[in-house]
Amino acid sequence: MHFRVYRYDPDKDAKPYMQDYDVELEPTDQMLLDALVRIKEQDDTLSLRRSCREGVCGSDAMNINGKNGLACVTKVADLKQPIELRPLPGLPVIRDLIVDMTQFFKQYHSIKPYLINNDRPPERERLQSPEDREELNGLYECILCACCSTSCPSFWWNPDKFVGPAGLLQAYRFIADSRDQAINERLDNLEDPYRLFRCHSIMNCVDVCPKGLNPTEAIGKIKDLMVKRTV
Amino acid sequence: MVNRVVVGAHYGLTAWLAQRVSAVVMAVYSLVFVVKVLMLPQLNYETWRGLFTPGWMRFMTFLFLLSIMVHAWVGMRDIWMDYIKSTGLRLTLQVGTILWLVGCTGWAMQILWRV
């Protein structure tokens, strides 16, 4: 199986280059991550992040044949050869397939990704009706792998100002939460031509999300709420 | 001036909404316009002029021109905001866009009212 992998070690390389690898896969090597582990057996200088190897931790997000995805849940048999692997686009490369996600998490933290409720916490838990809980489906499942935000041109152009699809999906996750008391502050925080309205609904985020979530829909719902409280 | 990232202008909804509303106005007008043109017995200068003579058609055409202006303003402003990093250049381009669009709309209205 033929691979072309993006290589860059800032300590040694003047600029990035693509390295070819040919690997024999075992029958048990079903996923792209398995193949990458084989490549690492050949060449242990190749650097990549990985952890749970089953699409839960979100560590091994990368650009696979031009489309962002998780190596651990991408079937190697479905990919056209040579399989081109690059780091997530738009973020600074630390080394090989590892990117610096500081900017991504800065935007995530800017939406205050935690429940804000000033009432005294009850002895056991804050209760929700099943209908209210239903609202959080399709939102809470995000694993913050950054596939969506790094496939979004608006995030490429303005990563310091635009929250990005992952952050906005999480913003709506707390806006939609019936236990949260800061909905107005959250909407105030997003009502900005850069933070929210850089989204032009091109839906790259929906196309790449490995969990099948829909940030564009969540962003639309935030805009709907803004309209509702304004007009 | 300190070099820090500043956001939080607390506007944006109006422009976004205006772009959507103007799109609806343009879509409705385009539909009515195409139907009116198809209903003309023949297409020549006289029938074309006749199309814009009724008061309600001028009213609608005026709204259409205003919608184009608003729609193009938000669209162009978005492009400048996406790609132009220098605040001074962005302001210049935005002001230039407004002046150009207002000028074009005024000119189009003059043509509309002249015939």
CATH number of B13-114: 1.20.1300.10
Q: What angle do CA A225, A208, A100 make, to 5 degrees?
A: 95
Q: Where are the domains of chain B?
A: 13-114
| pLDDT tens digits along B94-112 | 999 999 999 999 999 998 8
Chain B positions touching chain A (beta carbons under 8 Å): 5, 7-13, 15-17, 78, 81-83
Alpha-carbon distances of A194 from A155, A170, A216, B108, rounded to whole Å:
10, 17, 16, 32
ipTM of the complex: 0.88
Is residue B31 over pLDDT 80?
A: yes
Q: Counting one residue from A and one from B, how many pairs have CB atoms under 8 Å apart?
A: 47
Among B5, B12, B83, select the one facing A193 at the smallest CB separation. Answer: B12
Cβ distance of A195 and B82 shorter than 8 Å: no
Contact call for residues A84 and A18 (beta carbons, < 8 A): yes
List of chain A residues whose C-beta atoms are within 8 Å of the C-beta of residue B78: 198, 200
CA–CA dist A29, A156 (Å, integer): 34
| pLDDT tens digits along A7-37 | 999 999 999 999 999 999 999 999 999 999 9
Shortest distance, CA A212 to any CA of chain B (angstroms): 27
φ/ψ of A138, rounded to 5, equals 85, 0
Shortest distance, CA B21 to any CA of chain A (angstroms): 13
Q: Which two tokens stand for residue A134?
A: 């239903």
pTM as predicted: 0.92
